[in-house]
Chains A and B, each alone.
Chain A
């Protein structure tokens, strides 16, 4: 049976992992290569590196982090942050990434999804969506897509964008709730479910994990295929084995092997 994945996300700025609260980087959480090796040892199913500076300088550091990680860590690695062209994608894939995650650029230039999928295959293209819940005066509820780490509203409907992204060739969707990000108040289950019922590709829940129950909720009520979290792992609120044992206790299929 396909297991539910537990994925730590490492937000990297200038070669260090930082912890974000509602999309603003504040506290230092360590060396990305050391953290990656530790998560691998604990049984992480996959790792996401997110270059939150996404500058030219940041890119070089990220490639170095990737190359060093890929020599020691034999689980899937995904990289995002500032990837704007197919060539950018190729750079990180060549450095050791298995998947590339695109976000703002894909909204501005949706054809980037098609181009990436065409060149590297859908399995290499992860569409990451930052969404915030909107409640209209008449009570109608929807989710708006944001750009640039949550700084720019687009007016775009997140559920429709998820469907379009999958149609264009994204092999996986990471749904990041901005309301929940870094608050540890739980994933946005309604949003996850809305998207899950409309796409065939795997959906990863991101943003908001604070208790062990939040993970089971995302997988049961949210129907997500995987859960992604950052700060709760970096600051040792839970370890990966704790999360997996909790999921297993709720009869969710997980991989309990350690050491990658």
Chain B
């Protein structure tokens, strides 16, 4: 089972790799579009700013392969900036086009809050999904971000967190799974998400959709 971690220069690559290895996966860190294209599952990590993420993906000619693996229904796990990059537009540092896989906008938190939203906060599971298997409702996860996603289709919101407002912290549509927090920095419950992603990938190889994987 080949799980590719997309290497586009993001700082948290190694943490993501360690976390995936810790739960028994054997991820391959790569910027080779051909390898990503044939992977059974793809993880897009990320920290920093949306514009840099998009620029780095473009520089390494990885935009089309990311869109392609998602279009072909391969399980895809976006982390932090890897979640924000999936949307149409980010307002960070002006207005930047993102991958436009999920319609919606990435917005800055309203004034009056400490920015960045940094630390452990609870994730309310707004619907059941195999991605959450073994994780209690309202478990704490580690967040570091100044922008949040505002999806046009609210059906994609699988988890919500409160910080000034209720924002989507887990987004799921078909085989696309993404978290605003850093599961690789969220202790045991974060590791469970990587393990669950591994199971979803394994199921997908046998033709089982993510929503019913076990």
Partner-B contacts on A (CB < 8 A):
1-5, 40, 45, 70-71, 74-76, 93-94, 96, 98, 120-124, 171-172, 200-202, 225-226, 255, 257, 259-260
Contact B162–A1 (Cβ < 8 Å)? yes
Q: Which of A45, A70, A122, A257 makes the CB contact (< 8 A) with B15?
A: A70
Q: Which residues of A are found within 8 Å of B122, using beta-carbon distances? A: 1
Determine if B140 is an interface residue (Cβ-Cβ < 8 Å). yes
**Which residue on chain A has the smallest CB distance to residue B14?**
A96
Check B142 against A257 for contact (C-beta < 8 Å).
no
Asked if B185 contacts A74 (CB within 8 A), the reply is: yes
Q: Which residues of A contact B116 (CB under 8 A)?
A: 122-123, 171, 201-202
Give which listed residue, B15, B49, B115, B120, contacts A121 with CB less than 8 A.
B49
Nearest B residue to A120 via CB reads: B11
Chain A binding surface SS class: loop
Report chain B residues within 8 Å CB of A172: 118
B188 within 8 A of A: yes
Q: In the complex where A76-B185, A123-B116 touch, is A98 in contact with B22 (Cβ < 8 A)?
A: no
A-B contact pairs, 10 of them (CB 8 A): A3-B121, A74-B15, A74-B190, A120-B11, A121-B48, A121-B49, A171-B144, A202-B118, A225-B119, A257-B140
B185 pairs with A2, CB closer than 8 A: no
Of A2, A40, A96, A225, which one neighbours B187 at CB under 8 angstroms? A40
| Given contact pairs A71-B18, A74-B22, A202-B114, A3 touches B187 in the complex (Cβ within 8 A) | no
Cβ–Cβ contact B188 & A260, under 8 A: yes
Known contacts: A70-B15, A98-B12, A257-B188. The answer to whether A200 contacts B114 by CB under 8 A is yes
Question: For A76, what are the chain B residues with a Cβ–Cβ distance below 8 Å?
Answer: 142, 144, 185
- Known contacts A75-B142, A260-B188; is-contact A120 B48 (Cβ 8 Å): yes
**Whole-angstrom distance from the CB of B9 to the nearest CB of chain A?**
11
B110 to chain A: closest CB distance in Å? Answer: 12
A171 and chain B: residue at smallest CB distance: B116
Q: Is B40 an interface residue (CB 8 A)?
A: no
Most buried by A among B47, B143, B162: B47
Complex interface: chain A residues within 8 A of B185 (CB): 74-76, 98
* A171 and B118 contacting across the interface, CB-CB below 8 Å: yes
Contact present for B49 and A201 (CB under 8 Å): no
Residues of A within 8 A of B15 (CB): 70, 74, 96, 98
Q: Complex Cα distance A172/B49, Å?
A: 17
Contacts of B121 in A (CB 8 A): 1-3
Residues of B116-152 at the interface with A, using a CB-CB cut-off of 8 Å, are 116-122, 139-140, 142-145
In the complex, the chain B residue whose C-beta lies closest to that of A121 is B48
When distances are taken between beta carbons in the complex, the residues of chain A under 8 Å from B118 are: 123, 171-172, 202, 225
**Bound Cα distance A19, B82 (Å):** 40
B187 touches A75 (CB 8 A): yes
Q: In angstroms, how far is the closest chain B Cβ from the Cβ of A66?
A: 10
Given contacts A74-B187, A75-B185, contact A201 B14 (CB under 8 A): no
- Name which residue of chain B comes closest to A93, CB basis: B11
Q: Whole-angstrom distance from the CB of B47 to the nearest CB of chain A? A: 6
In the complex, what residues of A have CB within 8 A of residue B190's CB? Answer: 74
Does B3 interact with chain A (Cβ within 8 Å)?
no
Known: A1-B162, A3-B121, A202-B114. 4 other contacts (CB 8 A): A96-B14, A98-B11, A121-B48, A225-B118
Residue ID in chain A nearest B111 by CB atoms? A200
Give, as a whole number of angstroms, the nearest-CB distance from B133 to chain A: 17
Once the chains are docked, how many angstroms separate the CA of A124 from the CA of B140?
21
Query: Contact between A74 and B140 (Cβ–Cβ < 8 Å)?
Result: no
Across the interface, which residues of A come within 8 angstroms of B184, CB to CB?
74
Indicate whether A124 sits within 8 Å of B119 (C-beta atoms), given known contacts A70-B18, A75-B187, A202-B114. Answer: no
